[in-house]
Amino acid sequence: MSKVTLEVNGKKVSKDVPNHTILSDFLRDNLNLTGTHVGCDTSQCGACVVHVDGKSIKSCSTLAADVDGSKVTTIEGLVKDGKMHPMQEAFKKMHGLQCGFCTPGMVMSAIDLLQNKKNPSDAEIRKWLEGNICRCTGYQNIVAAVKEAASKV
């Protein structure tokens, strides 16, 4: 067993979990934060993307014990004072989601893109989102949403 202590969405949490516990399972099963989705479970699809110490990572391929002591932000942590994050607002406005399964990962990944690049081009957005797959194939509006958010952030 490992004692895993994290700051998740600003709240300190500490749990004893088996050493092989995956971060996405830790978030979903131990903390009941089911906004982080698990799609392919093999680090291809990106539905599980969360931020660890400010950087986007795939939580389905990361051991919880491995990020012990880190700050983790999930999709649930984006709302501030009841208001959606500008990226969430942009996805809503530009119809950047259809079934919504890939959306948490898309949003978390896109926020990290804007941390790295303030006004990305369409090509840069598409390159960055290579690790996020939308099975509804709604990429046009996802790219439009990221551009919209970039103009607001």
Amino acid found at 132: N
State the alpha helices, DSSP H only, in 36-121. 86-93, 103-116
Q: Which of 37, 73, 128, 142 binds another protein (CB under 8 A)?
A: 128
Asked if 63 is part of the footprint of another protein (rule: CB under 8 A), the reply reads yes
Asked if 124 is part of the footprint of another protein (rule: CB under 8 A), the reply reads no
Beta bridge partners of residue 66, listed in sequence order: none
Tokens (6 digits) for 16? 């004893």
Q: Which of 28, 58, 77, 85 binds another protein (CB under 8 A)?
A: 58
| Measured CA distances, 34 to 75, 84, 116, 119 (Å) | 9, 18, 27, 31
Q: Which of 102, 111, 113, 134 binds another protein (CB under 8 A)?
A: 113
Beta bridge partners of residue 59, listed in sequence order: none
Asked if 66 is part of the footprint of another protein (rule: CB under 8 A), the reply reads yes
Of 84, 94, 52, the closest CA to residue 69 belongs to 52
Q: Which of 20, 83, 95, 152 binds another protein (CB under 8 A)?
A: 20
Asked if 19 is part of the footprint of another protein (rule: CB under 8 A), the reply reads yes
Asked if 87 is part of the footprint of another protein (rule: CB under 8 A), the reply reads no
Beta bridge partners of residue 56, listed in sequence order: 51
Give the binding range for another protein (CB under 8 A) out of 14-22, 31-39, 89-97, 142-150. Answer: 14-22
Give the binding range for another protein (CB under 8 A) out of 6-14, 62-70, 82-90, 92-100. Answer: 62-70
Packing angle of the helix pair 103-116, 139-152 (nearest 10 deg): 40
Q: Which residues bind another protein (CB under 8 A)?
A: 2, 18-20, 22, 41-44, 46, 49, 55-58, 61-63, 65-66, 109, 112-113, 128, 130-132
